[in-house]
A and B are shown apart, each in its own frame.
Chain A
Amino acid sequence: MISRRKFLFNSLGLAGATCMGSVFTSCTPSRNVTGMLTGPNQALGHRLHQEIRNAKVEQTLHHDVVIVGGGTSGLAAARYLSKSGTDFMLIELEQRTGGNAQSGSNEVSAYPLGAHYLPLPSLNDAELLHFLEESGAITGYQNGKPVYNDYYLCFDPKERLFIHGHWQDGLVPHSGVPSADLDQLHRFQSLMHEFKQAKGADGKDAFCIPLTACSVDPAFTALDKISFSEYLQQQTFTSEYLWWYVNYCCADDYGATADQVSAWAGIHYFASRKGIAHNAESDSVLTWPEGNGWLVNKLREQVKETIVCNSLVFRIESRGNKVAVLFIDGNAGVCTEVITDQVILATPQFINHRILSASFEHPLNAASFNYAPWMVANLTLTSNLETKRGEPLSWDNVIYGSKSLGYVYANHQTLGQRQQQQVITYYAPLLGANAKDSRTFANAQTYEQWYAWVTKDLKTAHRFIEDGMERMDVWVWGHGMICPIPDFIFGKARTNASASLRDKIHFAHSDCSGISIFEEAFHRGTQAAKKVLGYES
């Protein structure tokens, strides 16, 4: 009885081939990896420092509303305004909108340059659900539950972790982990589960998204006063596996460590996601080859006529009961002013502070606003990322013990059979004692240094990864993510800086939430638009 008996031929042949391959290539002196080191438009951005403040206005425009910044929050504000038929203009510094959710592409695949997934939103995030329906990510409802587009729900296999020389499934360490540590991990997970169910005295969820809907019961907000590590120590967690996992999660969501973020923020990562779907588990995520680039492109489609790119807003002044927004375009250097009634600032606070004229008295305590730098590398490879050791190539692939977040497989959502060439996106938050030093470090690195950093890390799990590497593009985010340090989310500095000024200037950037995720950016943008329209004060 042979019945489609599996022969080992292929794998044998391949094993031989890879082994030979590596012998040959290691003799090759020059490696043909191409790529470049880039990032957000620094040249134009740096002009903010220079004396363009006195540039001569050559053109004057009039709009009812101006949105500054075309990241998720600015585009969400634009989407909402356009529904009411409001006249507005959106000004974006980069060549393209998208901000931290921008994407790139090459002949092999589209890929993210920053944000790459959206967890299923909970049912109370109504506006976000509307948008997902408009864009085809939700195809309908059954029994009151959204039906998500199957092509956008992350395919299986989703996650694997390289630990003890082997790929296990899922990211919570379990393979080869001693039982005492497993006990701690379980205890931690059930604690987080309790927080997920918990409600404050005001009847609101203790942890949810958007943050503005969370309970302000001091029983929970007190957790914002201490760091996440302090909390974990109080709970007598000692397992190194647990600590690694927790730090991994803080790095994933905040680009920071458990020492740096508040306990409330740390718990929020585990306890706030309450998505519901008719056709997926509640912990599923939406993703695309280009990551959240897909979402921002959908947002952009709705409002593209109103967008001006490659233009730096450098000053916002009061003009009687109007406001003047001054910008300079990146090509010709022409300076334009827009006279408007209201402005939505969908730009980070450190920028807002620089461009708002002093007369607005924007109360910013800059020391409270910390932004973690990030490095994202996109690699085009023919290397074999399947190893015989454990789980197959998954969407998210993490290396235990590494300082990076591992890599996401950009072709994961493609429908066809596995191609030889593939693109992976490697994520590294630049953790350090303080964000400023990390930024200085990041800006000083050369392409070769990043190349060495990435390959060294990946070689832990894929020894021969360099053999099939064709391209590596490195992208550095100087101010990647706002860091929810203790007392930030429920503290004064954040609320003060994000309160509207004279009912004319409204703040929308995700740093007003203290948590840098798509949902918050979307929510903040929508709220700012509502304020403009007078729906909300």
Chain B
Amino acid sequence: MSKRLQFVLLISVFVVATCGLIYELVAGTLASYLLGDSVTQFSTIIGAYLFSMGIGSFLSKYFLNDLIRWFIRIEILVGLVGGFSSVILFLLFEQVSHFRIVLYLLVALTGILVGLEIPLLMRILKDRLEFSELVSKVFTFDYIGALLASVIFPLLLIPYLGIMRTSLFFGLINIAIAILVCVWLRKEINGARWLLPQAIISLVLLIAGFIFSEELLKFAEAQAYHDSVIYARSSPYQRIVVTKSGADVRLFLNGNLQFSSNDEYRYHEALVHPAMSMVKHPKRVLVMGGGDGLAVREILKYPEVETITLVDLDPAVTNLFNSNALLTDLNKNSLHSSKLTIINQDAFVWIKNHDTLYDVVIIDFPDPSNYSLGKLYTNTFYRELRHIVDPNGLAVIQSTSPYFARKSFWIIDETLRQVGFNTLPYHAYIPSFGEWGYVLASQTSQPDSLGLLPENLKYLSRSTFEQMTFFPPDMAHTESGYNSLNNQRLVQVFEQEWSNYQP
């Protein structure tokens, strides 16, 4: 009897140790997954977890009697809390305003429970083993468990089970141990009647979670990003997130979708080719914003282009898009083109200190969702723009959605005209964005029809463009006024218009 008890309990030590480390790894991975900056996430999670285990060990002295029963109860709790931790975190990420608090509470709770386990086990075993034997055995199993966990977690669990099922799976193992102990030691524990049903109910819950994990995951991600996050980082300027599902890669800046690889060709063909084809021999091209290199990819389809200058504030974006294989596939390695010069500077500061001329200027800034960005859509900025667009050249400006933000769109058009540009507004349908708008701006003549387009465009053609310049009544021109540094009308209108479409 005592041999068997010993064996069961030592196996428990092993399993408990493995599960404990797995939960810690799950929390760390999830935190870096969802919040970015893995070094910080991992080190703070590990610290918080170990410290909580310390608290658990400290608290263990208050458990005086019925140690085995307590051990089983705790085992069930660990299984539930640890097992469901990833589910809870995924689901709450979008909902709770203090996500980190929930995260650390969960880590602390799991840590405390796990921290209770080993001391309790040692005390259960203390009368059955020599002290030196006890310490040696318990810690050996403990550390072997840890080793096992740390090896299988990245090699087997994450690739084959995914993060959510991993935590559920180890929750199941915890409960299984609880049930095993219940059954095998039912003589040792009196009144175990209620423990077994509890354990079984928990087991059923976890199994259900495991089976429906796919659905849960989908639901959770639909709450946040639709797809799995493959890159997340906060640069000093913005938060950069890249997601992937199947073949679809998406870039989010500050939570705003910048493109989806499924239909970005529509967006970029519409952005680049009207201007590029209308200008006779575009040699010098400037791109502002657009650090993803997708506009540059389109520009490189014109062999007569000699130099491309890309001004993008954030080196984190341009570095990402010239190094990540998935993304360089997408932009055809355009950021490595020998024609290209990348300048990581603020566009306004740069343009104010520049007066060399460009044949085509492509402006792809984020939407004017705050006052800082709003400056890049003012008459003052466009006046600076006039100084660098060749008299025979063209500029094109991404101008938010004329459907969702109709007035905002026409403010941009009006602002360009106020400083003396002739404009040609047009729009394109991008499934992942909806109806999207652009404005062509010319120093001299009124731009109208397309020139010769490169071959193999997937979306833009002469006849598509004719439709694009037509604005149906629900997007048609509306009196708007112009945007200036000292009125920032656009930001206010934009915020109000988009708030009507926020979920």
Q: Which of B8-16, B82-90, B97-105, B456-464 contacts A (4 or more CB under 8 A)?
A: B97-105
For residue A150, CB closer than 8 A to chain B, the reply is yes
A280 touching B486, Cβ below 8 Å: yes
The 0/1 profile, CB within 8 Å of B marked 1, for residues 269-296 of chain A is 0000000000111001000000000000
For residue A59, CB closer than 8 A to chain B, the reply is no
Give the CA-CA distance A36 to B348 in the complex, in Å: 34
For residue A303, CB closer than 8 A to chain B, the reply is no
Task: Specify which chain B residues have a CB less than 8 angstroms from the CB of A4 in the assembled complex.
Answer: 256-257, 367, 401, 433-434
Q: Which of A370-420 contact B (CB under 8 A)?
A: 392, 415-420
Give the CA-CA distance A454 to B93 in the complex, in Å: 37
Q: CB within 8 A of A13: which of B35, B383, B485? A: B35
B100 touching A20, Cβ below 8 Å: yes
A150 touching B97, Cβ below 8 Å: no
Q: Which of A107-115, A152-160, A183-191, A350-358 contacts B (4 or more CB under 8 A)?
A: A152-160
Task: Specify which chain B residues have a CB less than 8 angstroms from the CB of A50 in the assembled complex.
Answer: none
For residue A1, CB closer than 8 A to chain B, the reply is yes
For residue A332, CB closer than 8 A to chain B, the reply is no
For residue A433, CB closer than 8 A to chain B, the reply is no
B372 touching A417, Cβ below 8 Å: yes
The 0/1 profile, CB within 8 Å of A marked 1, for residues 397-415 of chain B is 0000100100000000000
Give the CA-CA distance A36 to B193 in the complex, in Å: 73
For residue B449, CB closer than 8 A to chain A, the reply is no
A9 touching B241, Cβ below 8 Å: yes
The 0/1 profile, CB within 8 Å of B marked 1, for residues 107-125 of chain A is 0000000000000000000
Task: Specify which chain A residues have a CB less than 8 angstroms from the CB of B370 in the assembled complex.
Answer: 392
A6 touching B255, Cβ below 8 Å: yes
Give the CA-CA distance A284 to B487 in the complex, in Å: 10
Q: Which of A4, A155, A418 has the most CB of B within 10 A?
A: A4
Q: Which of A10, A19, A157, A418 has the most CB of B within 10 A?
A: A10
Chain A-chain B contacts (Cβ-Cβ < 8 Å), number: 112
Give the CA-CA distance A299 to B372 in the complex, in Å: 31
Give the CA-CA distance A533 to B242 in the complex, in Å: 71
Smallest distance from the beta carbon of B368 to chain A beta carbons, Å? 12
Task: Specify which chain B residues have a CB less than 8 angstroms from the CB of A20 in the assembled complex.
Answer: 100
A153 touching B486, Cβ below 8 Å: yes
The 0/1 profile, CB within 8 Å of A marked 1, for residues 211-234 of chain B is 000000000000011100000001
Q: Which of B272-280, B326-334, B495-503 contacts A (4 or more CB under 8 A)?
A: B495-503
Q: CB within 8 A of A417: which of B237, B255, B486? A: B237
Q: Which of A1-16 contact B (CB under 8 A)?
A: 1-10, 12-13, 15-16
B256 touching A6, Cβ below 8 Å: yes
Task: Specify which chain A residues have a CB less than 8 angstroms from the CB of B433 in the assembled complex.
Answer: 3-4
Give the CA-CA distance A1 to B436 in the complex, in Å: 13
Tell me the nearest residue of chain B to A20, going by C-beta.
B100
B380 touching A7, Cβ below 8 Å: no
Give the CA-CA distance A280 to B401 in the complex, in Å: 28
Give the CA-CA distance A150 to B379 in the complex, in Å: 9
For residue B352, CB closer than 8 A to chain A, the reply is yes
For residue B448, CB closer than 8 A to chain A, the reply is no
For residue A453, CB closer than 8 A to chain B, the reply is no
Q: CB within 8 A of A420: which of B101, B236, B252? A: B236
A7 touching B225, Cβ below 8 Å: yes
Give the CA-CA distance A384 to B373 in the complex, in Å: 18
Task: Specify which chain A residues have a CB less than 8 angstroms from the CB of B97 in the assembled complex.
Answer: 12, 15
Q: Which of A412-433 contact B (CB under 8 A)?
A: 415-420
B255 touching A7, Cβ below 8 Å: yes
Q: How many residues of B contact A (CB 8 A)?
A: 53
Task: Specify which chain A residues have a CB less than 8 angstroms from the CB of B150 in the assembled complex.
Answer: none
For residue A151, CB closer than 8 A to chain B, the reply is yes
A150 touching B224, Cβ below 8 Å: no
For residue B261, CB closer than 8 A to chain A, the reply is no
Give the CA-CA distance A4 to B375 in the complex, in Å: 21
Task: Specify which chain A residues have a CB less than 8 angstroms from the CB of B64 in the assembled complex.
Answer: none
Give the CA-CA distance A284 to B484 in the complex, in Å: 13
Task: Specify which chain B residues have a CB less than 8 angstroms from the CB of A284 in the assembled complex.
Answer: 486
Tell me the nearest residue of chain A to B351, going by C-beta.
A415
Q: Which of B97, B313, B383 has the most CB of A within 10 A?
A: B97
Q: CB within 8 A of B100: which of A2, A5, A8, A17? A: A17
B94 touching A417, Cβ below 8 Å: no
Tell me the nearest residue of chain A to B489, going by C-beta.
A156
Give the CA-CA distance A20 to B433 in the complex, in Å: 35
Give the CA-CA distance A362 to B241 in the complex, in Å: 73
For residue B239, CB closer than 8 A to chain A, the reply is yes
A6 touching B485, Cβ below 8 Å: no
Q: Which of A110-169 contact B (CB under 8 A)?
A: 150-151, 153-157
Q: CB within 8 A of B98: which of A8, A9, A16? A: A16
Task: Specify which chain A residues have a CB less than 8 angstroms from the CB of B373 in the assembled complex.
Answer: 417
B239 touching A13, Cβ below 8 Å: yes
Task: Specify which chain B residues have a CB less than 8 angstroms from the CB of A12 in the assembled complex.
Answer: 93-94, 96-97, 99
Smallest distance from the beta carbon of B99 to chain A beta carbons, Å? 5
For residue B480, CB closer than 8 A to chain A, the reply is no
**Chain A contacts to B: CB under 8 angstroms:** 1-10, 12-13, 15-17, 19-20, 150-151, 153-157, 279-281, 284, 392, 415-420
- Contacts A7-B94, A156-B486 given; 16 further ones with Cβ under 8 A? A4-B257, A9-B252, A9-B254, A12-B93, A12-B96, A16-B98, A150-B484, A150-B486, A153-B486, A281-B486, A392-B371, A415-B349, A415-B375, A416-B348, A417-B313, A417-B346
- 8 interchain residue pairs of minimum CB distance: A16-B100, A7-B255, A416-B346, A156-B488, A3-B434, A415-B348, A150-B380, A153-B486
